[in-house]
């Protein structure tokens, strides 16, 4: 068994658009997905996630580069010969077959014996909590149930890798949250490698062991959720994942994984952590997450204190979202409401003067691209 | 009264079906009843009908006749049953051939790039804008002794210096079959196309993903989902083939007499509308029975229309 369940080596997929232009939907992508991993491809619509997945499944062939499944070069192997299965965004259930027949379809194609097939379909339906629904037709099920039939139909084949293309996209928010947790625990239970495509960053952060952030056919960053959120490789990733305050500046000096950046808008230098290589003189973006700015009078050592004015504050229950004007720059700060009180002053007032402190550990120096 | 009507949903419903009801009664029920009444009568000397209640026409249709060799009172002929049987088999053969021809065509049109689809559907429909009879005449031109095929063959034979005797294609059962298959092909293509066109591409991909080869995908996915179209097409082809007389008239000559010809001749040549009516009703009964058993086996397909 190969160390990697899936490997994409410098894969390019070009399409001819209806206007007759050439479009690289996937542009020199390299990925190594380990066995048993819950791996997500995250990116906004049109960034090439589905195309990447379809090349693994065998519905598309790469224009350049190679796809390996379990160390084996796939070339132009058709989908029905690849040891992977797909959960389609539209579910693609066979409307003329019952739930049982849908799930048994893949086993029938493998010529599994009737008894084995019945037992495995039963297990699969139990796993997705659809026991007793086997005689229904897909049309007689709710969206969430149909989604689970699609899941059971793919899982029953015990594939090396399960490919999921925005499988929860059509469900309402509450059901989606439920299914996220269910999918995650299911994946741990069966131990199959999952490749999960989504444009929902919350979903990717919740479920994945590792995430590949994609944009315009390229992988911008690949790593565990913590790494993507706390050490984004560039400004785009920091902006796409979660929220952030950005300040423009130029690098004065770089040393020991930290850089000193001159913020011209403030006429002030800030020190921050370097995540990708930057050079002295580079135009960079400073990124500070809104929950990592401290509003207080007490200054920590090596913190930089700044004065600001509250422009707007919104009470949202667990937190208060405060929008500040700091020397002409807008900053957003999320403060946790740690004290239970009805006093409006505890939740900040418009026009209130306030002091905030920025520490280098919470300040990131990011390339703009 | 109007107030009640405005408030009662069921009264409104009743009112709404009245036009349909008038149409059904006027165009279907009354003519059918008339035909039934006539079929129990006798023809009289001046081509009219003497109304009686006799089953003579039906007995005659089964093959019992008084027109026997001297000394025998009633005897039996398979003449009419033979015609019924020939019509049934022709209907069956035409339908099967049309399915075999229409399916690949419909599949091709349904799967081709959408920008070509309208053009191809248009081409399927174009022949139907010419008169039915003219289209059959065209087949006469193609099949007859000095027709297109024989001329081409003769010309080729001339080039190769081999003797050539024109093929006797016209006025054979084969010619009638070819004509029927051609005439009704669009009625098979369109419904099959409609059901194939509804099959989302992701279903083919899902089948392949689950390990089905293209052939098994066809058997397990394409064919079952196309069934409603095949059923509809079968009814649209089989029923009219049973009643058409022009094709067999022009391409079958005196050789191939079908129920349609039999009925037509009773009304126009033999001047016996009573026997014509009996044959018509028998044909209708046969068609209904065939359609009943067929749809009971395959359904109308509505439960699988996606
Ligand atoms: N068959 C195709 N022909 C032409 N362009 C395509 C085709 N499939 C995808 N594309 C284009 O490739 C890009 C990436 O598509 P896709 O992989 O579906 O993105 P995502 O799944 O990330 O939303 C899009 O701009 C899309 O329009
Ligand atoms: Mg997509």
Residue B185's pLDDT is: 95
pLDDT at residue B4 above 70? no
CA distance A175 to A71: 37
Q: Supply the range of the domain harboring residue B111.
A: 82-298
Interchain pair A105, B212: CB under 8 A:
yes
Instruction: Provide the 3-class DSSP secondary structure of residue B8.
Output: coil
Structure tokens at A169: 């996209």
Maximum Cα interatomic distance, chain B, rounded to a whole number of Å: 90
Structural domain contains residue B117: yes
pLDDT at residue B303 above 80? no
Q: What residues form DSSP beta bridges with A222?
A: A212
Is any ligand 1 atom within 6 A of the Cβ of residue A217? no
At what angle are helices A143-155 and A99-109 packed, to 10 degrees? 20
Residue A258's pLDDT is: 94
Residue A299's pLDDT is: 57
Structural domain contains residue B145: yes
Residue B176: enclosing H or E segment and its boundaries?
helix B173-197
Which residues of chain B make contact with A124, given a CB cutoff of 8 A? none
Structural domain contains residue B283: yes
CA distance A281 to B156: 86
Structure tokens at A245: 């305050």
Structure tokens at B215: 């052939």
Residue A227's pLDDT is: 95
Residue A300's pLDDT is: 67
Mean pLDDT of B27-45: 92
Interchain pair A80, B209: CB under 8 A:
yes
Residue B5's pLDDT is: 64
Residue B70's pLDDT is: 84
DSSP conformation letters of B244-269: --HHIIIIITTT---HHHHHHHHHHT
CA distance B207 to A290: 48
Is any ligand 1 atom within 6 A of the Cβ of residue A41? no
Residue B294's pLDDT is: 86
Q: Any idea which ligand is nearest the CA of A213? A: 1
- Quote the minimal CA–CA distance from A96 to chain B in Å: 5
pLDDT tens column, B87-96: 999 999 999 9
pLDDT band at B199; cut points 50, 70, 90: very high
- Quote the minimal CA–CA distance from B13 to chain A in Å: 29
Is any ligand 1 atom within 6 A of the Cβ of residue A215? no
**Closest-CA residue to A1 (of A69, A65, A79, A78):** A69
B213 Cβ partners below 8 Å, 6+ apart?
Answer: A80
Structural domain contains residue B48: no
Looking at chain B, the whole-number percentage of residues with pLDDT higher than 70 is 95
Residue A198's pLDDT is: 95
Residue B73's pLDDT is: 83
Residue B75: enclosing H or E segment and its boundaries?
strand B75-76
Structural domain contains residue B105: yes
CA distance A42 to B159: 71
Structural domain contains residue B116: yes
CB-CB contact of A48 with A215 (8 Å): no
Using alpha carbons, list the distances in angstroms from residue B56 to B25, B39, B85, B272.
28, 9, 21, 13
Residue A121 CB: number of other CB atoms within 10 A?
A: 24
**Closest-CA residue to A335 (of A363, A293, A301):** A293
pLDDT band at B305; cut points 50, 70, 90: very low
B141 contacts chain A (CB < 8 A) = no
The strand pair at A283-288 and A364-367 is best described as antiparallel
pLDDT at residue B302 above 60? no
Residue with tokens 């703009």, as numbered in its chain? A368
Residue A36's pLDDT is: 94
Structural domain contains residue B32: no
Structure tokens at B127: 């022949």
Smallest Cβ distance to B202: which of A58, A78, A90? A90
Residue B72's pLDDT is: 83
Is any ligand 1 atom within 6 A of the Cβ of residue A17? yes
Structure tokens at A56: 């693994």
**Closest-CA residue to B59 (of B69, B43, B44, B74):** B74
Which residues of chain A make contact with B207, given a CB cutoff of 8 A? 94, 105
**Closest-CA residue to A232 (of A243, A221, A242):** A221
Interchain pair B202, A59: CB under 8 A:
no
CA atoms within 13 A on the CB side of B87: 30
A212 CA distance to ligand 2 centroid (A)? 15
Is any ligand 1 atom within 6 A of the Cβ of residue A50? yes
Instruction: ipTM value, please give it.
Output: 0.85
Residue A298's pLDDT is: 56
A18 CA distance to ligand 1 centroid (A)? 12
CA distance B101 to A330: 71
Maximum Cα interatomic distance, chain A, rounded to a whole number of Å: 76
pLDDT band at B304; cut points 50, 70, 90: very low
The strand pair at A38-42 and A193-198 is best described as parallel
Structural domain contains residue B159: yes
**Closest-CA residue to B222 (of B190, B185, B197):** B197
CA distance A131 to A123: 9
Tally of structural domains, chain B: 1
Residue A162 CB: number of other CB atoms within 10 A?
A: 25
One digit per residue, the tens of pLDDT, for chain A of length 369 reads 788 999 999 999 999 998 889 999 999 999 999 999 999 999 999 999 999 999 999 999 999 999 999 999 999 999 999 999 999 999 999 999 999 999 999 999 999 999 999 999 999 999 899 999 999 999 999 999 999 999 999 999 999 999 999 999 888 888 899 889 999 999 999 999 999 999 999 999 999 999 999 999 999 999 999 999 999 999 999 999 999 999 999 999 999 999 999 999 999 999 999 999 999 999 999 999 999 998 875 556 778 888 899 999 999 999 999 999 999 999 999 999 988 999 888 888 899 998 888 899 999 999 987
Instruction: Provide the 3-class DSSP secondary structure of residue A5.
Output: strand
The domain that holds B237 is classified in CATH as 1.10.3720.10
CA distance B51 to B40: 7
pLDDT at residue B306 above 50? no
Counted residue by residue, chain B has a size of 306
C-alpha angle A102-A108-A113 in degrees, rounded to nearest 5: 125
Higher pLDDT, A343 or B12: A343
Q: Ligand 1, closest atom to CA A51?
A: 17
Using alpha carbons, list the distances in angstroms from residue A161 to A37, A210, A213.
9, 15, 20
Mutation choice for ligand 1 from A25, A40, A59, A63, CB with most ligand atoms inside 8 A = A25
> Average pLDDT over chain B, rounded to whole?
89
């Amino acid at each position: 068994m190969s160390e990697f369940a899936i490997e994409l080596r410098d894969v390019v997929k070009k399409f001819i658009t209806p206007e007759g232009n050439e479009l690289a939907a996937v542009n020199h992508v390299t990925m190594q997905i380990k066995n048993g991993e819950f791996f997500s491809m995250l990116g906004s619509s049109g960034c090439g996630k589905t195309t990447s997945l379809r090349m693994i499944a065998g519905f598309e062939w790469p224009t350049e580069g190679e796809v390996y499944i379990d160390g084996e070069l796939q070339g132009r192997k058709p989908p029905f010969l690849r040891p992977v299965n797909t959960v389609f965004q539209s579910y693609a259930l066979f409307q003329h077959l019952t739930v049982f027949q849908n799930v048994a379809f893949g086993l029938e194609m493998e010529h599994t014996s009737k008894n084995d097939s019945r037992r495995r379909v039963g297990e699969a339906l139990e796993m997705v909590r659809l026991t007793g629904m086997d005689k229904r037709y897909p049309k007689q099920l709710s969206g969430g149930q149909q989604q689970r039939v699609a899941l059971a139909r793919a899982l029953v084949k015990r594939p090396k890798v399960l490919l999921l293309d925005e499988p929860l996209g059509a469900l309402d928010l509450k059901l989606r949250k439920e299914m996220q947790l269910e999918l995650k625990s299911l994946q741990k239970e069966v131990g199959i490698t999952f490749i999960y495509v989504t444009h929902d960053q919350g979903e990717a952060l919740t479920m994945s062991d590792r995430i590949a952030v994609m944009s315009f056919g390229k992988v911008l960053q690949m790593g565990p959720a913590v790494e993507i959120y706390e050490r984004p490789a560039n400004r785009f990733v920091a902006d796409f994942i979660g929220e952030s305050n950005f300040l423009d500046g130029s690098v004065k000096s770089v040393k020991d994984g930290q850089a000193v950046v001159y913020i011209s808008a403030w006429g002030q230098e800030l020190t921050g952590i370097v995540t990708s290589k930057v050079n002295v003189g580079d135009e960079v973006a400073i990124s500070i997450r809104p929950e990592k700015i401290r509003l207080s009078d007490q200054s920590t050592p090596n913190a930089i204190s700044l004065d600001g004015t509250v422009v707007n504050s919104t009470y949202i229950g667990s937190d208060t979202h405060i929008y500040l004007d700091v020397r002409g720059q807008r900053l957003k700060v999320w403060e946790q409401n740690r004290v239970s009180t009805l006093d409006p002053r505890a939740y900040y007032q418009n026009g209130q003067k306030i002091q905030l402190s920025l520490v280098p550990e919470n300040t990131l120096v990011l390339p703009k691209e | 009264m109007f107030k009640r009507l405005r408030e009662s949903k069921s009264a409104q419903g009743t009112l709404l079906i009245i036009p349909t009801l008038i149409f059904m009664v006027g165009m279907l029920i009354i003519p059918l009843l008339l035909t039934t009444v006539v079929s129990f009568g006798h023809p009289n000397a001046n081509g009219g009908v003497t109304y009686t209640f006799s089953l003579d026409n039906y007995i005659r249709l089964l093959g019992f006749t008084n027109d026997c060799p001297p000394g025998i009172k009633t005897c039996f002929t398979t003449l009419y049953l033979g015609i019924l049987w020939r019509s049934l088999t022709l209907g069956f053969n035409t339908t099967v051939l049309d399915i075999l021809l229409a399916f690949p065509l419909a599949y091709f049109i349904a799967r081709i790039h959408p920008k070509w689809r309208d053009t191809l559907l248009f081409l399927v429909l174009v022949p139907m804008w010419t008169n039915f009879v003219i289209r059959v005449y065209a087949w006469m031109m193609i099949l007859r002794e000095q027709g297109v095929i024989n001329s081409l063959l003769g010309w080729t034979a001339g080039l190769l210096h081999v003797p050539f005797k024109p093929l006797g294609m016209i006025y054979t059962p084969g010619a009638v079959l070819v004509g029927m298959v051609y005439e009704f092909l669009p009625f098979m293509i369109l419904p099959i196309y409609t059901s194939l066109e509804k099959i989302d591409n992701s279903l083919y991909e899902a089948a392949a993903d689950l390990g089905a080869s293209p052939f098994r995908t066809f058997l397990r996915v394409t064919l079952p989902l196309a069934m409603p179209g095949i059923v509809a097409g079968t009814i649209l082809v089989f029923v009219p083939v049973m009643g058409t007389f022009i094709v067999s008239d022009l391409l079958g000559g005196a050789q191939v007499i079908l129920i349609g010809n039999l009925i037509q001749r009773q009304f126009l040549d033999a001047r016996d509308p009573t026997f014509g009516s009996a044959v018509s009703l028998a044909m209708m009964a046969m068609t209904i029975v065939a359609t009943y058993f067929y749809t009971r086996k395959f359904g109308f397909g509505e439960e699988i229309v996606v």
